[in-house]
Amino acid sequence: NAGVMQNPRHLVRRRGQEARLRCSPMKGHSHVYWYRQLPEEGLKFMVYLQKENIIDESGMPKERFSAEFPKEGPSILRIQQVVRGDSAAYFCASSPPRGTNEKLFFGSGTQLSVL
Amino acid sequence: GENVEQHPSTLSVQEGDSAVIKCTYSDSASNYFPWYKQELGKRPQLIIDIRSNVGEKKDQRIAVTLNKTAKHFSLHITETQPEDSAVYFCAAGGYNNNDMRFGAGTRLTVKP
């Protein structure tokens, strides 16, 4: 079991470009969560998805940010027209199908740097 | 929603000493309290968790205590070793994982 896989590990974008972050959950997991981590801060919840459904996007900015988890393939966090304030580590976590109080397993994160 | 406060933000101890990190939470409905360890540049990893039906849980040198009445829980690391140096995050959540909220983290340094 390869665990939660995120890529790329590091992503550099210029202001105004688009950033696409990918997350493949652990085998058998169908629930995906995205978090943002700023330096010296905790993990801030952004969005929770199941296959083909966004369940809770209450932590995700309304503009420029979107997320999907298609039937086939990884979950994608998309940030359009990036700004310097988007620079952060973005972590994805997955949990088994039950989704309630199940242990979260994190990926290694994508460090986004906006120049 | 849930709000989690974590103290201290930094903690330095001598190898072999104990380390204690404390968290408080606001939502009395929270019933799941995990602790994560994050080494520099790496993923957060679950090290121990406790559910609201127990007051204490221990796993070798690590223990967690929970006081539901006071809405606080603590991580205790005994006989600390340099490899325990990392950032530790507490979290509190309810029935659904997307309700879980994290503390700001404690940077633990264990000096040899």
Q: Is B31 within 8 Å of A99 when comparing Cβ atoms?
A: no
Q: Which residues of A touch B105 (CB under 8 A)?
A: 40-42
Catalogue the E-assigned strands of chain A.
Answer: 5-7, 10-13, 19-24, 31-37, 43-50, 53-56, 65-68, 75-79, 88-95, 105-106, 110-114
pLDDT 10s digits, A54-111: 999 999 999 999 999 999 999 999 999 999 999 999 999 998 876 566 788 999 999 9
- Average the pLDDT over B41-63 and give the result: 92
Give A48 to chain B, closest Cα distance, Å: 6
Is pLDDT above 70 for B62? yes
- Average the pLDDT over B45-51 and give the result: 94
C-alpha to C-alpha distance for B57 and B110, rounded to whole angstroms:
23
Q: What percent of chain B has pLDDT over 90?
A: 81
For residue A1, the model assigns a pLDDT of 55
pLDDT 10s digits, B8-47: 999 999 999 999 999 999 999 899 999 999 998 889 999 9
Residue B100 tokens, joined = 């879980």
For residue A63, the model assigns a pLDDT of 94
Q: Closest to B43 (Cβ–Cβ): which among A44, A95, A108?
A: A108
In 10 A of CB A20, how many CB atoms?
13
